[in-house]
Amino acid sequence: MSIVLLVLLVAGLAVGLLAGIPVAFVLGGVALWIALLGQLLGVFDTSYLAAYPNRVFGIMGNETLLAVPLFVFMGVMLERSRLAEELLESVAAAFGERRGGLAIAVLLVGALLAASTGIVGATVVTMGLISLPVMLRNGYCPRLASGTLCAAGTLGQIIPPSIVLVLLGDQLGNAYQQAQLKLGNFSPDTVSVGDLFAGAVAPGLLLVSLYLIYVLWVAWRDPQRAPAIEASRRQQRSWRRLLRATVPPLGLIVAVLGSILAGVATPTEAAAVGAVGATVFAAALGELDRTRLRDVARSTVEVTAMVFAILLGAALFSLVFRGLGGDDLVHDLLTGLPGGRLGAVLAVMLVMFVLGFILDFIEIVFVVVPIVAPVLFALDVDPVWLGVMMAINLQTSFLTPPFGFALFYLRGVAPPELRTLDIYRGVVPFILIQLITLGLLALWPGLATWLPGLLYGP
């Protein structure tokens, strides 16, 4: 009977999400109904629900999660103060005379914004509004233009500081400690958000490099798809303007990521520095007034409330899932797969990739990761490598149709003549590149583990 209720729990979650009900309410509501049904059938112990208040207090008092609103504030501030727009226009002017130059500029700006903000939606919208009309007007292939914009906008998922890595670090850290305690290690090692930030640097740069190689190859093989900007349409190149535009993102990268990797500050402390730094740059070099500041604060509150509401709903969902024996079932399934540890990791990666077609990355992090991570850690999977693998996998959820958020963001600001089918087809090569990166990381785990080992020791 427990298995039947587990099936109903997962099916209810899927139906609720497809019906458009807010995720947090679906997670909590379905869990409560199944818990009540399980109690009536005598297969669910309601004492599991007694742990929920402690879970709530633990979530709201979690210092690591304070980095979420601070990173959101930092990213939205750069976007609303038009610093991101100035950066994009300056870099585009510098590369516009080359074939594929606009696409290269978009990728480089996407990497810079990712390393200084970690916010996806604002990046895709900003670059879509500014660059997409210019690229189409200058004869770029609509598929290449839209695919490049979507891919560049999602780099904030893997290049630190990334909200995905913050959330993954919190969930994986808890799961790793639980796994260590179950194995009899009562002084367990820890995995932190800083470890994941360090581990994601090399894979993130590898992904950007592969994107650039693909765009350059397309421009060389078929120049008509990525032509140089005509001299009459080209903006005047200004190295002074370019230097002025790159100061804010580079300054934030040094202040935030540099302080974390150097061990000077925790991710939460570095996020606070970044939020203040973004405000100072916006006031000194951008456009910041009371109205824009109010909009930034409102957007930060909205995103943060959404994240924490989903986290609270997921906490209740996971309690009911465990109360019905779901964690034991998952453990038996993963450990019984052929291939041992490799087979279990491959199965989890495949499930997360498929779920990315229909679920947001936050839902996958809060629902799936706490269930599968303890089992994988019990199989002696490296937590940093696993976290970076999951982050790259989750990045594809922003690009995979039909519910990839980057596709929706770009569709909302794209001109009417750009077909939705062109956007969907345009992201396919970049999804394949992400999967290639995932495969390279699986073959060479050292891509993710060497820098944390170098900085923080074994």
Range picked from 210-219, 328-337, 373-382 for highest mean pLDDT: 210-219
From residue 50, how far is each of 53, 276, 397, 417 by CA, in Å?
7, 40, 34, 55
The pLDDT value recorded for residue 183 is 66
**Is the pLDDT assigned to residue 458 strictly greater than 60?**
no
Q: Is the pLDDT of residue 340 over 80?
A: no
Nearest-angstrom CA–CA distance, 105 and 87: 10
Band of residue 206 on the pLDDT scale cut at 50, 70, 90:
very high
pLDDT band at 398 (very low <50, low <70, confident <90, very high): confident
pLDDT, position 386: 92
Q: Is the pLDDT of residue 213 over 90?
A: yes
Q: Per 3-state DSSP, what percentage of the chain is helix, strand, and coil (rounded to 5)?
A: 80, 0, 20
Residue 388: predicted pLDDT: 93
Mean pLDDT, residues 260-267 taken together? 83
Q: How many C-beta neighbours within 10 Å does residue 75 have?
A: 32
pLDDT of residue 385: 93
Domain locations in the chain as residue ranges: 2-456
Q: What pLDDT shows up at residue 352?
A: 87
Q: How far apart (Å, rounded) are the C-alpha atoms in residues 322 and 351? A: 19
pLDDT of residue 433: 95
Q: Which of 229-238, 270-279, 327-336 has the lowest mean pLDDT?
A: 229-238
Distance, in Å, from the CA atom of 257 to the CA atom of 267, rounded to the nearest integer, reads: 8
Residues 203, 105: Cα–Cα separation, whole Å: 20
The more confident residue out of 230 and 191 is: 191
What's the chain's average pLDDT? 83
Q: What are the tokens at 107? A: 């990728």
* Res 233 pLDDT > 60: no
* Whether the Cβ atoms of residue 322 and residue 11 lie closer than 8 Å to each other: no
Tell me the pLDDT tens digit for each residue of 132-154.
Answer: 887 888 788 889 989 998 888 88
Look at residue 24 and tell me whether its pLDDT is greater than 60.
Answer: yes
pLDDT for residue 203: 94
Stronger pLDDT, 219 or 360, i.e. the higher one: 219
What per-residue string of b and e applies to 204-215 under the rule 16 or more CB within 10 Å gives b? bebbbebbbebb
Averaged pLDDT, 16-26: 79
Span of 142-151, 161-170, 196-205, 356-365 with lowest mean pLDDT: 356-365
pLDDT score recorded for residue 9: 85
CB atoms within 10 A of CB 19: 8
Q: Express each pLDDT in 276-325 by its tens digit.
A: 988 988 888 878 888 888 998 998 888 888 888 888 888 888 888 888 88
Single-letter code of the amino acid located at 25: F
pLDDT at 359 over 60: yes
Supply the DSSP string of 157-186, one letter for each residue.
Answer: GTSSS-HHHHHHHHHHHHHHHHHHHHTT-S
By the 8 A CB rule, do 116 and 256 touch?
yes
Name which of 426, 312, 291, 430 is nearest 363 in CA terms.
Answer: 312
Report which residue type is found at 433: I
> Considering Cα of 85, then 89, then 94, then 98, what sign does the dihedral take?
positive
What type of residue is 326?
A: G
Average pLDDT score over residue span 155-174: 84
Phi/psi class of residue 99: alpha, beta or left (left: φ > 0; alpha: ψ in -120 to 50)? beta
Pick from 440, 375, 428, 423: which is nearest to 176 by CA? 375
Q: What does the pLDDT look like over 69-100, one tens digit per residue?
A: 888 888 788 778 878 777 777 887 777 677 88
**Three-state secondary structure along 373-410?**
HHHHHHCCCCHHHHHHHHHHHHHHHHCCCCCCHHHHHH
| pLDDT band for position 429 (cuts 50, 70, 90) | very high
